[in-house]
């Protein structure tokens, strides 16, 4: 469902792996009985056209059902905990003379981490 990396790709305005995230949320938020029924009916192939055409824009994420929002929220918190520092620390480092002391590679890594954390914090606000 999620692919080899086991991760979803988020952008500033929408989820870039929306089909995978939609299916994962749908399945993980089902009751055991709903899952059994869905599986028995080969529901994997018969999603409605409406679901296939929906995009997971930031606006759509904010309208998810509460269980899905909680699942996303908790997942984002776990992801943020996996980083060695928080968003403020990264932001402070970008604005200090210490930034100039970093190698070019370390500066680029800092920018990537900072961008990732900003997107994750944005998602937290959307699903709060």
28 and 71 Cβ atoms separated by less than 8 Å: yes
Longest dimension (CA), the chain: 61
pLDDT at 21 over 70: yes
What CA–CA distances, in Å, run from 86 to 53, 76, 99, 105? 36, 13, 16, 20
- Residue by residue, DSSP assigns 33-61 as HHHHHHHHTTTTT---HHHHH---BHHHH
pLDDT tens column, 86-103: 999 999 999 888 899 999
Would you state the pLDDT for residue 26?
Answer: 87
What is the rounded distance in angstroms from the CA atom of residue 108 to the CA atom of residue 97? 16
Would you state the pLDDT for residue 77?
Answer: 94
Global pTM exceeds 0.85:
no
pLDDT at 52 over 50: no
Sequence-separated (6 or more) residues with CB below 8 Å from residue 93 = 99, 110
% of the chain exceeding 90 in pLDDT: 47
pLDDT tens column, 64-82: 999 999 999 999 999 999 9
Q: What topology does CATH give the domain 18-127?
A: set domain protein methyltransferase, domain 2 (3.90.1420)
Sequence-separated (6 or more) residues with CB below 8 Å from residue 51 = 22
Would you state the pLDDT for residue 113?
Answer: 94
């Amino acid at each position: 469902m999620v692919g080899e990396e086991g991760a979803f790709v988020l952008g500033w305005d929408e989820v870039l792996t929306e089909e995978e995230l939609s299916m994962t949320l749908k399945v993980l938020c089902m009751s055991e009985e709903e899952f059994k029924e869905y599986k028995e009916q080969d529901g994997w192939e018969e999603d409605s056209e409406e679901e296939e055409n929906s995009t997971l824009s930031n606006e759509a994420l904010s309208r998810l059902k509460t269980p899905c929002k909680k699942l996303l929220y908790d997942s984002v918190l776990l992801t943020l905990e996996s980083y060695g520092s928080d968003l403020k620390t990264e932001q402070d480092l970008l604005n200090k003379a210490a930034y100039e002391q970093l190698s070019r590679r370390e500066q680029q890594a800092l920018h990537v981490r900072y961008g990732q954390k900003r997107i994750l914090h944005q998602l937290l606000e959307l699903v709060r």
